[in-house]
Structure 1
Amino acid sequence: MLTAACKFRNKSGLASTTRVMPFFLSTSATVTPLCPPPSPYPSPHFRLPYLPRRGLAFLAAAASPRTLPPTPRQAMASLATSTAAAAAAEVTHLSQRDAADIDEQLMGPLGFSVDQLMELAGLSVATAVAEVYKLSEHTRVLIICGPGNNGGDGLVAARHLYHFGYKPFVCYPKRTAKPLYSGLVTQLESLAIPFVPVEDLPQDLSGQYDIVIDAMFGFSFHGAPRPPFDDLIQMLVSLSVIGDSAKRPPIVSVDIPSGWHVEEGDVSGGGIKPDMLVSLTAPKLCAKKFTGPHHFLGGRFVPPPISSKYGLELPPYPGTSMCVRIGKVPSVDISSLRENYISPELLETQVMPNPFDQFRTWFDEAVTAGLREPNAMALTTVNKAGKPSSRMVLLKGVDKQGFVCTQITVAKKHMIYRKIQMRHFFSTGMR
């Protein structure tokens, strides 16, 4: 995607306004008039003249030095998550007893198995992490796993994060001999994911990890944490009190911040202060005391009988996502939303030899992501005096001769036929 700054002056010529517009495809050569040949596209339509490959430039100037612009799926997921957050002003919070009862119902008369629920929960955690903490800035992920189901969720999340492109490291000090957990460990070992002993962890995790996932204890935990988890919790407590969040890895807690009371929260006030909480099935009562910027719900498996019996009010999951944000989206400093437009460019070696094949690939991605009217494009021309004119048209088809769009105004066709400079671009977030 190319962003171009266009200046518009008022009638007096004294004031100017700069607007940034995204260009997807740029046709910089002059246009030769031609009549639309017979085509299968329904009338009225208009064929934009074909230009040789040299006249098509694939540019990406909206990327920072470390990342490319988001894909349509990322853009749609972000938009849908924000929309769901606004709609989810109030959700049901479960007591410890209700949470346990729901698990029994799911794994009893409703036919779920523990490994099935664990897989979906771990996938939810991984997708929530990837939603907020982008791979370009948070590569190294330490997952601290406890001996129970919460730790199993962490093991599953580690596997999915690996396949998402992250570099997970697992601290699993009290391994469970049950086949389910042994299988999860074997899966991670087959991916060469490192297992880090507790004694090898640095006291300050800031220098070695970009994210720390707390998957030690869940809603069924009682009493005080025992070694080595008491020291691990204190390690995360020390990490969370560092004032500058930019200088420490964010903490992500799975379902319950380890050490918290499942209903009363951080009773002592000296517990873990996670930056993200991923509640599973439904938030527990302690989640009301969570003050971090990112609260997500995961575990997209709650059937209607459970929702009805327990009166669950939960936000809808967007699209095919495995997580949904709860509460308000963190405030954003608009002035800081700045990209570096110098590098990197989308090199010619990174695209298909045939530009129309590349366009179809990007267009299919936009359609798959569920974008509304991804075929909408702006057809912009500039006359000899430099006066721009832009009209929105709908793409009707693409073939080897070029683009076919809905009928446009006579004036616009007249400008094209007079060999005026022309651009047509798509603002769909495609990269």
Structure 2
Amino acid sequence: MWSVIRKSRRMSMTCSLLAQSLTLAYHYNSSPAIKSTCNPFSLLVSNQSSSSSVFLRPVSAPAIRAFCSKSDAMSSAQNSDSVSHLTQREAAEIDETLMGPLGFSVDQLMELAGLSVATSIAEVYKPSEYDRVLAICGPGNNGGDGLVAARHLYHFGYKPFVCYPKRTQKPLYTGLVTQLESLSIPFLSVEDLPLDFSKDFDIIVDAMFGFSFHGTPRPPFDDLIKRLLCLHGYDQTHQKRPVIVSVDIPSGWHVEEGDIGDEGIKPDMLVSLTAPKLCAKKFSGPHHFLGGRFVPPVIADKYKLRLPPYPGTSMCVRIGKAPSVDISALRENYISPEFLEEQVESDPINQFRKWFDDAIAAGLREPNAMALSTVGKDGKPSSRMVLLKGVDRDGFVWYTNYESRKACELCENPHASLLFYWDGRNRQVRVEGSVEKVSDEESEQYFHSRPRGSQIGAIVSKQSSVIPGRHVLYQQYKELEEKFSDGSLIPKPEYWGGYRLKPELFEFWQGQTSRLHDRLQYSPQEINGKRVWKINRLCP
């Protein structure tokens, strides 16, 4: 059997090394006001440069969603009032502490700050609709964050452009420029920029000034800020305009008092780094994200920081309530390679394996998750998610409780359908067929391959039965855990085992632009006494 119990390789070696080093991360600042003999970072930036906070945090799979899984990040949204906000002095003190005794390098921190910004953007603004990005970068570390973000956005499928008018001639920054040039990312001078950004760009990344900035913006940044302010006029005329994403602090805002006079940039997204600054309380845009998963207990305790938990291995977490949306307007314009009859496998099992391997290689979460639909004698369908545990020429295998609702319905009507949906690949597979139980030996073998906790859980859970509360499960689990604490064999209950669906119909679906999706159906037919699979294209 081609087993899907095997562990998928979700990390490259690079990501694994990053994950080890990114569990601690820190943000920094280059303000002359906070220079210290114990702060090596202060030696790297000129007195006139401004900066932002940056951080380090764990990194996982190669897919963007491993950095910012949308469902997780949205569900983990935190009320902004419950999250700590830093004064400028507190931010500076934290910088000195982290960048001094803890010894983190500037390039390490800047890299992950930029990645956090890029993943926050990818969380909301998909490249299929917002692909043209202009990163306006200042001379300090906030600008460096923007340069790094532009590089990551390129690899995420966007088309970035960079305006970097006041370049810092330090090896760190010249290296970032070289990296972008190696990707043929265009650099635009202020003179090359259109007066009206609305026709040429979909996203503007405001990476001009960070939280150490004070005073009045000087040329050419004063003019660039005015051009961003002009974009707000499009809201009144209902014309589409580029969205503005500010890095840590909207450029020109006071770090504590915010948009004084209500005449500054009003970004659509704010990506706070390390912890929101006080000015973030004045942010009224729809999308506020936090990047930074690093604060050690000694810092958190000293400043009484309340920071939200990050979902999974994501690089960002939403702060505040997600904006309400018009459900009818939610849609995805799929972009996929061709899926043609002459390219597919003649055997649908082989085609399934090919797509399944692609889903694993893409780092998709639980690619073996499938919706199982059954119908009982009452004719009412029911569906639930289960995990595929094996597939071969005989069919698709999963395991469950034989006294559950799905088991009862399969007893009454031994036919079912399976649906695999691989969002990151714009693909789904439907399989229909008859269902039978696997052998006791097969169920026994798989049961004892599971973690002991899962074995005990299978005994405790009388699936689909009504219980008075969760405490009942905990109590029974605790009793069995104690009973088998000596490592003795845990017996498989008679009411637990596997099913096998023997496929009679396959449909492979792949999303395409303008809803002209690919649908290839495999159905069996007899030719000269031999069963073969006929492939038909269905209208989307």
Q: TM-score, normalised by structure 2?
A: 0.60
CA distance in 1, matches of 2:191, 2:3: 70
Match of 2:138 in 1: 146
Match of 2:322 in 1: 329
How many Å apart are 1:173 and its aligned residue?
0.5
CA contact (8 A) 2:198 2:241 kept: yes
Is 1:165 the counterpart of 2:154? The answer is no
How many Å apart are 1:333 and its aligned residue?
1.9
Match of 2:260 in 1: 267
Point out the more displaced range, 93-102 or 77-86: 77-86
Task: Kindly provide the amino acid, as one letter, of the partner of residue 396 in structure 2.
Answer: F
CA distance in 1, matches of 2:256, 2:104: 26
Match of 2:511 in 1: none
> What does the per-residue CA deviation read over 1:241-272, in whole Å, with 9 as the maximum and x for residues that have no partner?
32156610000000100011010001021110
Match of 2:206 in 1: 214
SS of alignment partner, residue 260 of structure 2: coil
Distance 1:194 1:132, change over 3 A: same
CA distance in 1, matches of 2:344, 2:311: 32
SS of alignment partner, residue 313 of structure 1: coil
Aligned mate of 1:308, from 293, 296, 301: 301
Match of 1:277 in 2: 270
Aligned mate of 2:120, from 112, 124, 128: 128
Distance 1:272 1:179, change over 3 A: same
Matches of residues 224-239 of structure 1 in structure 2 within 5 Å?
224-239=216-231
How many residues align? The count is 357
Larger RCO of the pair (alpha carbons < 8 Å, separation 6+): 1
CA distance in 1, matches of 2:67, 2:97: 36
CA contact (8 A) 2:376 2:410 kept: no
Distance 1:246 1:302, change over 3 A: farther
Aligned mate of 2:195, from 167, 190, 203: 203
Distance 1:411 1:150, change over 3 A: closer
- RMSD between aligned residues: 3.4
CA distance in 2, matches of 1:41, 1:108: 48
Match of 2:398 in 1: 405
Distance 1:389 1:270, change over 3 A: closer
Matches of residues 40-119 of structure 1 in structure 2 within 5 Å?
73=65, 77-86=69-78, 90-119=82-111
CA contact (8 A) 1:375 1:396 kept: no
Match of 1:292 in 2: 285
Distance 1:387 1:275, change over 3 A: same
Matches of residues 388-403 of structure 1 in structure 2 within 5 Å?
389-390=381-382, 392=384, 395-403=388-396
Match of 1:360 in 2: 356
How many Å apart are 1:231 and its aligned residue?
0.4
CA distance in 2, matches of 1:144, 1:72: 23
Match of 2:129 in 1: 137
Distance 1:425 1:100, change over 3 A: same
Unaligned runs of 5+ in 1: 1-37, 43-70
CA distance in 2, matches of 1:409, 1:299: 46
Is 1:424 the counterpart of 2:418? The answer is yes
Task: Kindly provide the amino acid, as one letter, of the partner of residue 371 in structure 2.
Answer: M
CA contact (8 A) 2:258 2:279 kept: yes
Match of 1:23 in 2: none
How many Å apart are 1:301 and its aligned residue?
2.9
Unaligned runs of 5+ in 2: 6-62, 428-540
How many Å apart are 1:401 and its aligned residue?
2.2
Task: Kindly provide the amino acid, as one letter, of the partner of residue 306 in structure 1.
Answer: I
Task: Kindly provide the amino acid, as one letter, of the partner of residue 276 in structure 1.
Answer: M
Task: Kindly provide the amino acid, as one letter, of the partner of residue 124 in structure 2.
Answer: V
Matches of residues 339-354 of structure 1 in structure 2 within 5 Å?
347-348=339-340, 353=345, 354=350
Distance 1:83 1:365, change over 3 A: farther
Task: Kindly provide the amino acid, as one letter, of the partner of residue 163 in structure 1.
Answer: H
CA distance in 1, matches of 2:328, 2:376: 31
Q: TM-score, normalised by structure 1?
A: 0.74
CA distance in 1, matches of 2:395, 2:224: 61
How many Å apart are 1:103 and its aligned residue?
1.4
